[in-house]
Chains A and B, each alone.
Chain A
Amino acid sequence: MSTAIPSIATARPERATGTVTAARRQVVQHKKALAIFLGPFLLVFVLFYLAPILFAVLQSFMKVSRAGAFGAPVQVFGGLTQYSAVVHSSVFWTSIEHVVIFFFVSVPIQLIMALLLALLLDSSLVKGKRFFRLAYFAPYAVPTIIAALIWGYLYQPQVSPFQTLTSSPTFGPLTANMIYFSMANIVFWTYVGYNMVIIYSALKAIPGDLFEAAKMDGASQLRIAWSVKIPLVVPALIMSTMFSIIGTLQLFNEPTVLATLTPAVTATWSPNMIVLATTNIPNYNLAAAISVMLALVSCAVSFTFLRLTQKRAFA
């Protein structure tokens, strides 16, 4: 146990329970309880979360060397060989381009719709709220891979009930120019309800007196929505956006299903598909490097986003 405990000073105000020695005594007192509380999680976290990450990072700096024509693989230090291969891989950058475009096609409309539906549900304008809430949330009951399978069928002219649309050579969901929208539609269908419920819960948590005050000032429903409700659910919106960012970068299920249906989606369309394909070669070192790069990009984007919105997220 160290003598200087700076963490206490930076802890939340109500935790500052006094002197350093008092805190030390407190820790000693509840050491066993702490071990029981934190132990299990930390054990599995270190073994099954940190260790694999560390292993992937280590692997990404190695390469395989073999003797002769069929020698057994030996891991040797490779330096930045794998990272260089990733950076020079046009397939990798194309996949990043795919998910970035996908993000802008898919996420804004998803959040706007979730917000709109939540606001409408929270207003006096709607009858049968319970039914709508459940109807919008229902898609979340379907695992995303199965949702992709279902929409895959709805997109195929052979079985789809939408014959005209799916048979169209320009507007067919499986054509190259519509594929982003088709994929975004699947994600939209699955997640709008979920995001809506989060925002709706945040709306319900706003104290009623704020609305009383606004109404007394003569504000209309629309005005209230714009100036009172939306600003107060911004934290929820930010959380949803964060998860959407992480989710989009990891996109795997939807393109994997669509790849079996249309040449517009290749087996290396998204970064995670490349990781799997690389693993199957097998080339674990390169797959590890791609994963690490993807994780770094993911963390960097999330972090930047949080930084930019920090004040509002943690209001």
Chain B
Amino acid sequence: MSTATIRTSLRRTPRGATASRPRSVALTTLFMAICAFYFLLPMWWLIVASSRTTGQLATNHSLIPSSIGQLFSNVADVLTYDGGIFVRWLLNSIGYAVIGAAGATVIAAMAGYGLAKYVFPGREAVFNTILAGVLVPVTALAMPLFLMFSQAHAVNTYWSVLIPSLVSPFGVYLSRIYASAAVPGSLLEAARLDGSGEVRTFFTMSARLMSPALVTIFLFSFVGIWNNFFLPLVMLQNQKLYPITLGLFSWNTQISRAPFLQTYVIVGSLLSAIPLLIAFLLLQRFWQSGLAEGAVKE
């Protein structure tokens, strides 16, 4: 493993002649467009279905939106139903994901850094144990965690979902790889000579060098926690604590009793995709370069 030349810069080498094969370009672009249509269709359908009333859903099956006014009315209904529980779910999900991912990133980054830059007996054993953790299905942990939290009278609380989310073995793995590649030992030596403490060096210098990996770990954890369904399903009964995944699912189970919930589930699904879509748009640059580091293991 070389500590030299990190492939952080995206390849910008111009490719071959771009305009010499217009037919191939047209065909390929058409193919890509069809694929894009497939990937975007369900979200388009969400918009279309959200512009209808529950009754119209059963009769109108076209892919053209019906009424913008109805769309806004539906959104308003969803946001205010049951005391605004949907907004609460959205905030819960954001809370779990932001706090959980931030916490997970910090401790995983520190752990990976510690494993990468410092030598101590049993280091590889510790690392291998953590790595083995990546292979363990998270669902196997849910029941024992539930019993454990019951003992501490902490089940059905925010902590019961937040704390298990802080453990990111994959984050430690990524962080270790990146730390050993991006933070040269010489830099650390220089900092030591300058009198900077180890922890201070990490927070002021090394972390900055590791930032693409940190963003990757954060995004990876964020999406994982955002997606989380099984753990909250097991831990939570109070619907005020539900993340959006569990909330919409619980609405879906009640449709036979309350048919209007079908519309709410659809509108809610549309609304729930927005935060992450915005996050992706804003953080495009980071996740691309970060993922590159994770993929090309040096």
Contacts and interface: CB of A to CB of B under 8 A. Distances in A.
**A–B contact, 8 Å CB criterion (strictly below):** yes
B16 A145 contact: no
Interface residues of A, number: 117
Which residue, of A23, A161, A200, A211, has the highest number of chain B Cβ atoms within 10 A?
Answer: A161
Nearest to B44: A161
A45 B120 contact: no
A34 B135 contact: no
A303 B136 CA distance: 12
B272 A146 contact: yes
A34 B108 CA distance: 13
B124 interface: yes
Interface in B255-298: 262, 265-266, 269, 272-273, 276-277, 279-281, 284, 287-289, 291-292, 294-297
A145 B251 CA distance: 13
Given A49-B141, A141-B273, A235-B295, A34 B120 contact: yes
A121 B36 CA distance: 12
Interface string A18-41: 000001001100101110111011
Most buried by B among A32, A33, A40, A139: A33
A195 to B, nearest CB: 10
Contact of A51 (B107, B148, B180, B295): B148
B61 A141 contact: no
Contact of B291 (A42, A128, A201): A201
Contacts of B291: 197-198, 201
A45 B129 CA distance: 10
A6 to B, nearest CB: 9
A207 B6 CA distance: 11
B145 interface: yes
Given A159-B49, A211-B13, A202 B292 contact: yes
Interface stretch (A66-74, A79-87, A147-155): A147-155
B208 interface: no
Contacts of A10: 124
Interface of A: 1-2, 5, 7-8, 10-15, 17, 23, 26-27, 30, 32-34, 36-38, 40-42, 44-45, 48-53, 55-56, 59, 117, 120-121, 123-128, 131-132, 134-147, 149-151, 153-154, 158-161, 163, 189, 192-193, 197-202, 204-208, 211-212, 215, 221, 233, 235-236, 239, 246, 249-250, 252-253, 257, 260, 272, 275-276, 279, 284, 287-288, 291-292, 294-295, 298-299, 302-303, 313-314
Given A38-B126, A137-B280, A208-B13, 15 more contacts: A38-B111, A41-B110, A48-B141, A52-B148, A124-B18, A125-B21, A125-B24, A201-B289, A202-B296, A204-B292, A205-B7, A208-B12, A246-B137, A291-B140, A291-B143
Interface of B: 1, 3, 7, 10-13, 15-18, 21, 24-25, 28-29, 31-32, 35-36, 38-40, 42-43, 45-46, 48-49, 57-58, 61-63, 106-108, 110-111, 113-115, 118-126, 129-130, 132-133, 135-141, 143-145, 147-148, 163-164, 166-167, 169, 172, 180, 185, 197-199, 202, 223, 226-227, 229-230, 233-234, 244-245, 248-249, 252-253, 262, 265-266, 269, 272-273, 276-277, 279-281, 284, 287-289, 291-292, 294-297
26 contacts: A12-B180, A15-B119, A23-B119, A27-B121, A30-B198, A34-B118, A37-B113, A37-B114, A45-B167, A48-B141, A124-B16, A126-B32, A128-B29, A134-B280, A136-B35, A136-B36, A141-B273, A144-B229, A149-B248, A150-B42, A161-B62, A198-B294, A202-B296, A235-B295, A272-B139, A279-B143
